[in-house]
Amino acid sequence: MMPAEMARVAALQAPLLCFDTCTVLDIMRDPTRETARAHESQAALDLLAAIESGTKLIALMADQVGFEFGENAKAVEEEATKSLKKLRDQLARIDAVAAVFGGVGQTSVRHLDDHTARARAIVDRWMAAATPAKQQPDIASRAFVRLNQARTPAQKGKDSMKDCVVIETYLDIVAKLRSAGLTAKAVFVSSNTADYTGETRKTLKSDLAAEFAVLGMEYAPNLAAAKHFLGV
C-alpha cells in the first residue's frame, strides 16, 4: 500500500477486514458439505456490499492470499460442481426406487444448475473489491522467524510458511495504519481453526492473541463472526 493510499484508508476510519485464502474459498466451496451454513453465506454477501461501497468497510488482501487463490480457485470450483452432480445422481436413484413403490414425481434441483457459477462470481467480486496489502521485503524473513519459533499459526513439524507470511503481512500493515491514525475496528478472519485456535476451537491461541491485542485486532473463525465483530 502506497503512502497516499495508507493515508486515505486511515482518514476514512472504516473498519478493516483481513482475510486468508481459506476464508474466500469457503464462499464457493461445495454447498453439500456438512460445514456449509446459510448465515455464513449471507454474511459474505453483506460484507461484500460493505466493501464495494468504498466507505463502509476496507478488506485488505495480502499478496500471498492472491497467489494462493489463483492456485486453488479452479480446483475448489470443480469440486463443488462434482459434488452437486453427485447429489443429482443420488436423488435420481432415490426417485427411481420411490417410483417402484408407487411414488409419483421427481425431486427438482434445477435451482442448483448455476450455483457454482453464481458463487464464483461473488468470489471474483470480492477479490476485485479488496485493497491489496503488499508484502514488504522484510516479511519473508519475519515469517521465517515465526516459523522457526513455532508461533501461531506455525506448528512444529508442519510447513506453515505461507500462513506465517499472511499473518506477518497483516500485522505489518495494520501497525502502519494505526500509526497513521486509524482507530477503527480490525478483524482477521480464518476458518483454519486448527492452526489458530488449537484444541479449543473457540479462542485464538495466546501468543497471537497478544500480538493482536497490541494492534486492537480481533480474530474471527468465519465471515458471520467477522460481520458481528465489525458491526457492519
Across the chain, where does the E strand assignment appear? 16-19, 58-62, 131-133, 186-189, 217-220
Which cell is 173 given? Answer: 500493515
- Asked if residue 127 belongs to a domain, the reply is yes
- Asked if residue 86 belongs to a domain, the reply is no
Question: What CA–CA distance (Å, rounded) separates 90 from 98?
Answer: 12
Question: What CA–CA distance (Å, rounded) separates 36 from 27?
Answer: 9
* Total tally of structural domains belonging to the chain: 1
**Amino acid residing at 72:** N
170, 62 contact by CB (below 8 A): yes
- Asked if residue 87 belongs to a domain, the reply is no
Provide the 10 A C-beta neighbour count for residue 124. Answer: 12
Domain that holds residue 51: 3-81+115-136+173-230
Whether the upstream peptide bond of residue 153 has omega within 30° of 0, thus cis, is: yes
Provide the 10 A C-beta neighbour count for residue 191. Answer: 20
Backbone angles phi, psi at 61, to 5 degrees: -120, 110
- Asked if residue 167 belongs to a domain, the reply is no
The tens place of each residue's pLDDT in the chain, 232 residues long, gives 778 888 999 999 999 999 999 999 999 999 999 999 999 999 999 999 999 999 999 999 999 999 999 999 999 999 999 999 999 999 999 999 999 999 999 999 999 999 999 999 999 999 999 999 999 999 999 999 999 999 999 988 888 999 999 999 999 999 999 999 999 999 999 999 999 997 777 789 999 999 999 999 999 999 999 999 999 9
Nearest partner of 217 among 8, 15, 12, judged by Cα: 15
- Asked if residue 165 belongs to a domain, the reply is no
Q: How far does Cα 147 stand from its chain's mean position?
A: 22
Question: What CA–CA distance (Å, rounded) separates 111 from 118?
Answer: 11
Question: What CA–CA distance (Å, rounded) separates 191 from 199?
Answer: 14
- Asked if residue 106 belongs to a domain, the reply is no
Q: Is 89 helix (H, G, I), strand (E, B) or coil?
A: helix
- Asked if residue 57 belongs to a domain, the reply is yes
The answer to whether the predicted template modeling score (pTM) of the entire model surpasses 0.85 is yes
- Give the domain CATH number at 178: 3.40.50
Could you identify the residue written with the cell 481453526?
A: 193
Question: What CA–CA distance (Å, rounded) separates 110 from 209?
Answer: 45
- Asked if residue 44 belongs to a domain, the reply is yes
